[in-house]
Structure 1
Amino acid sequence: MRIVLLGPPGAGKGTQAQIIAGTLGVPAISTGDIFRANVSGQTELGKKVKTFLDAGNLVPDEITVAMVKDRLAEADAEGGFLLDGFPRSIPQAEQLRDSLGELGHKLDRVVELVVEEDELVRRLSGRRMIVDGKEVQRDDDKPETVRHRLSVYREQTAPVAGFYEGEGLLARVDAIGEIDEVTSRVLAALGVEGGGEAGQPAAV
């Protein structure tokens, strides 16, 4: 299966990505991992990425998409993949569709993990780390910062769900509950045997 997993910060996307990919026997692919692999491997694309990152700038869509396309063309992704953290915008979603078409593939399903904003704020602002033996809160986990991050997500990335809804690919899954409960819902939304309570497919 070729899957995209969407969801706001704090929805448990990274955890579910690893579990679902392992269950399906496909690689879980994140843009962060792709960036790091290309930069450390000093590929041509990696060198370009490094110049943007070193300058504190966002990596342009065309470079990000090119790196993702290269990764999806690797042998382990031939039988399927799960994309985590990409696409982040409608232009990226359109380019992903075109890139997969060139490889003779298309997406099977897009799953959006859904969590109420207050719950996301509670989850993220409740995280702590130990510094000099003391439990402290990270600056980017303070409630006001979390709400800003969620606002940015809604403005920039949430429209991607609407794009895939229009393509008839989107299933929304309630991401409240124990990890295994959410996993069962995602698997049910994917039509995989062993999934529990199904996520509701979006209206098309």
Structure 2
Amino acid sequence: MRLLLIGPPGSGKGTQAVHLAQHYGITHISSGDLLRRHLTDDTIIGRSVAAYIHRGDLVPDSIVMDILRTPVQAATRRGGYILDGFPRTVDQAETVDRAAEPLGTEVRIAVYLTAARSELIRRLLARGAQTGRTDDTEHVIAHRLDVFDHAATPLLDYYRQRRTLITVDGDQPVAEVTRTAIAHLDQARHELGLPEHRHTPPPVAGQHTKLTATLATSRQPAPHPGQNRQTTGHGRK
């Protein structure tokens, strides 16, 4: 199973990606974590992307593609992945698909995780205070959210029309969000004829802190060519 997790900074993508990866026995690949590792290790890539990250701008596509290519191919061979943080624009999604489809490594299902802007800012400021991340200042956070908002609508339309898109929205405990996401992912996986990958049971409600997201999907059938696909439906096999 090959998943993409979409959401604004602070929406809980990393937390949910870890839970879903553990549940399905697939690999969590975070473009942000990989880039920050290059920054910490002061590699050539890290030095080349430092200014983009500190400003809250998107790192050039070619660099992100280079650091993701090997992990994505390796994870696909092991049974699948959940990709967190890339692609973030339609141009990036098209570039990824052109490279991935011939190799059979393209995304099959996209999960969109939403949260209120005020809550996102609160979380990111708290994270910055705890971790010292230089990109978690109020000015940079606002810019990062603006960048995401500008790209989000066309990106979601892209995956709604070409893949299966599940939208997660609300304010439930983390475990409840994960359990609901798993239920809808299992349904989508069954509709697409994807193999089983479950390795662990869903988390028990009440064991984790809260996340402003719940799952809300539409199960209308996929439209004929030329029509818009609904929130959750049959994507490309």
1:149 to 144, 168, 175: 144
Task: Give the whole-Å Cα distance in 2 for the aligned partners of 1:39 and 1:141.
Answer: 18
1:83–1:203: structure 2 CA closer, same or farther, 3 Å change rule?
A: closer
- For residues 98-150 of structure 1, the C-alpha deviation after alignment (integer angstroms, 9 at most, x for no partner) is 2221212432210001222233234334557369xxxx9x89454x6544432
Task: Give the whole-Å Cα distance in 2 for the aligned partners of 1:70 and 1:167.
Answer: 24
- For residues 54-103 of structure 1, the C-alpha deviation after alignment (integer angstroms, 9 at most, x for no partner) is 6x3564212322332222122x4321000001112111111211222121
Q: How does 1:106-185 map to 2 (within 5 A)?
A: 106-125=106-125, 129=129, 140-142=136-138, 146-185=141-180
Task: Give the whole-Å Cα distance in 2 for the aligned partners of 1:18 and 1:10.
Answer: 15
Which segments of 5 or more consecutive residues in structure 1 lack a partner in the other structure?
none
Task: Give the whole-Å Cα distance in 1 for the aligned partners of 2:232 and 2:23.
Answer: 27
Length, aligned pairs only: 192
Q: Which residue of 1 aligns with 2:18?
A: 18
Task: Give the whole-Å Cα distance in 2 for the aligned partners of 1:130 and 1:53.
Answer: 23
Q: Which residue of 1 aligns with 2:30?
A: 30
Residue 7 (structure 1) shift: 0.6
Q: Which residue of 2 aligns with 1:199?
A: 216
1:128–1:4: structure 2 CA closer, same or farther, 3 Å change rule?
A: closer
Letter in 2 for 1:13: K
1:139–1:96: structure 2 CA closer, same or farther, 3 Å change rule?
A: closer
RMSD over aligned Cα atoms: 3.5
Secondary structure of 1:29's counterpart equals: strand
1:139–1:82: structure 2 CA closer, same or farther, 3 Å change rule?
A: closer
Aligned partners of 2:21 and 2:28 also within 8 Å: yes
Which segments of 5 or more consecutive residues in structure 2 lack a partner in the other structure?
53-57, 188-197, 206-213, 219-230
So what's the TM-score if we normalise by structure 1?
0.76
Q: Which residue of 1 aligns with 2:76?
A: 77
